[in-house]
């Protein structure tokens, strides 16, 4: 795509979860500004997922903003953890606009604590919202996207999942799980032009306030992440890509596999592995496997090559 051809979403229908504020709000506004009809989903709870929630006032305010700018939008107050409510949200979009082209899985909560001090209930809730919330929303649009032979799904992962972050074992586990979900769905959706990607944002929102100095917060405006979302949701989107974005900088993350070494399965294999661990973990010539089968292919290939030499 040439740099001067604009990314537009005319005729497209998008659902953005957790879109009452912060990053989700910016996603919804940007999609609408470029022509998409947008379902603005927000439970209206506190950032730790507490509170009665269910108030669509935050979502409605974003809808009003979109309409004032001449766009089309509707509010929805479903909790992403409630599959029936999520199915009803998708039906609401289809009844009004006939299809769903884009799903931005953005809803999330934080319950940060070191693992030693964390209650299991706080671990489970974070996994339920981030991972199962995205699973519920994706499942609710999956058959429809396969039927219409078009879909763009963006999972919101995080550097905390990709690389770790003290006090975020629950959040990090859920966020990397979304990458695993993307890896398989991108393979399963490809034949019907459903492209599934991940976005790892660095943004100052309600989720991060009080954690960084003001000048850093100013650089990390949520708007700066939006271009990456638009590219991942566009007709020309890549498939199976992890884009990182923050403060106007964009990177990609890859899960790679090293060349490894064949050591056989003799009685001293553990000692050999320990002695040659640096060789096994060396990143020279590493690859980005196109599917999980690549690991077995590499392993068996090295074993066969060694058998021939034997």
Asked if 22 and 101 sit in the same domain, the reply is: yes
User: Is 58 among the domain residues?
Assistant: yes
What is the rounded average pLDDT for all residues in the chain? 94
The span from the CA of 39 to the CA of 100, in Å, is 10
Structure tokens at 10: 């005319």
Contact present, 128 and 177 (Cβ < 8 Å): no
For the chain, how many structural domains are there in total?
2
At 45 the pLDDT is 72
User: Is 104 among the domain residues?
Assistant: yes
The span from the CA of 189 to the CA of 219, in Å, is 36
User: Is 261 among the domain residues?
Assistant: no
Residue percentage of the chain with pLDDT more than 70: 95
From first to last of its 310 residues, the chain has per-residue pLDDT tens of: 445 679 999 999 999 999 999 999 999 999 999 999 999 999 987 777 776 555 669 999 999 999 999 999 999 999 999 999 999 999 999 999 999 999 999 999 999 999 999 999 999 999 999 999 999 999 999 999 999 999 999 999 999 999 999 999 999 999 999 999 999 999 999 999 999 999 999 987 666 777 778 888 888 999 999 999 999 999 999 999 999 999 999 999 999 999 999 999 999 999 999 999 999 999 999 999 999 999 999 999 999 999 988 6
User: Is 152 among the domain residues?
Assistant: yes
Asked if 278 and 238 sit in the same domain, the reply is: no
Residues sharing a CB contact under 8 Å with residue 37, sequence separation 6 or more, in sequence order: 12, 13, 14, 71, 72, 73, 96, 97
CATH code of 185's domain: 3.40.50.720
150 counts as catalytic:
no
Q: Which of 198, 86, 187, 183 is nearest to 132 (CA)?
A: 86
Asked if 239 and 302 sit in the same domain, the reply is: no
Q: Which residues pair with 242 in a beta bridge?
A: 198, 253
Structure tokens at 102: 């884009």
Asked if 99 and 204 sit in the same domain, the reply is: yes
Asked if 236 and 277 sit in the same domain, the reply is: no
Asked if 224 and 297 sit in the same domain, the reply is: no
Contact present, 98 and 9 (Cβ < 8 Å): no
Domain containing 85 equals: 13-253
Kindly state the helix (H) or strand (E) to which residue 180 belongs, with its residue range. Answer: helix 169-189
Q: Which member of 162, 171, 181, 244 is catalytic?
A: 171
Asked if 84 and 208 sit in the same domain, the reply is: yes
At 1 the pLDDT is 43
């Amino acid at each position: 795509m040439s740099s001067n051809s604009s990314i537009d979403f005319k005729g497209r229908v998008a659902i953005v979860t957790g879109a009452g504020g912060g990053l989700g709000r910016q996603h919804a506004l940007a999609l609408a500004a470029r022509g998409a009809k947008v379902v603005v989903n927000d439970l209206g709870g506190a950032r730790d997922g507490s509170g009665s929630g269910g108030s669509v006032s935050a979502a409605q305010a974003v809808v009003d903003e979109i309409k004032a700018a001449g766009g089309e939008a509707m509010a929805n107050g479903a909790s992403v953890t409630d599959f029936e409510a999520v199915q009803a949200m998708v039906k609401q979009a289809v009844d009004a606009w006939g299809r769903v082209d884009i799903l931005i899985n953005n809803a999330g909560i934080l319950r940060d604590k070191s693992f030693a001090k964390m209650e299991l209930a706080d671990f489970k809730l974070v996994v339920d919202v981030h991972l199962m919330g995205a699973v519920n929303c994706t499942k609710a649009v999956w058959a429809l996207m396969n039927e219409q032979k078009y879909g763009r799904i963006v999972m919101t992962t995080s550097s905390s999942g990709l690389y770790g972050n003290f006090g975020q074992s629950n959040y990090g586990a859920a966020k990397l799980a979304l990458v695993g979900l993307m890896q398989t769905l991108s393979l399963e959706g490809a034949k019907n032009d459903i492209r599934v990607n991940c976005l790892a944002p660095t943004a100052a929102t309600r989720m991060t306030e009080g954690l960084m100095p003001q000048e850093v917060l100013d650089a990390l405006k949520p708007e700066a992440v939006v271009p990456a979302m638009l590219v991942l949701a566009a007709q020309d989107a890549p498939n199976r890509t992890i884009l990182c974005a923050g403060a106007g900088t964009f990177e990609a993350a890859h899960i790679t596999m090293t060349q490894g070494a064949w050591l056989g399965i003799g009685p001293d294999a553990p000692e050999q592995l320990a002695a040659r661990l640096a060789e096994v973990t060396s990143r020279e010539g590493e690859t980005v496997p196109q599917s999980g089968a690549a690991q077995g292919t590499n392993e068996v290939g090295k074993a066969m090559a060694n058998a021939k030499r034997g």
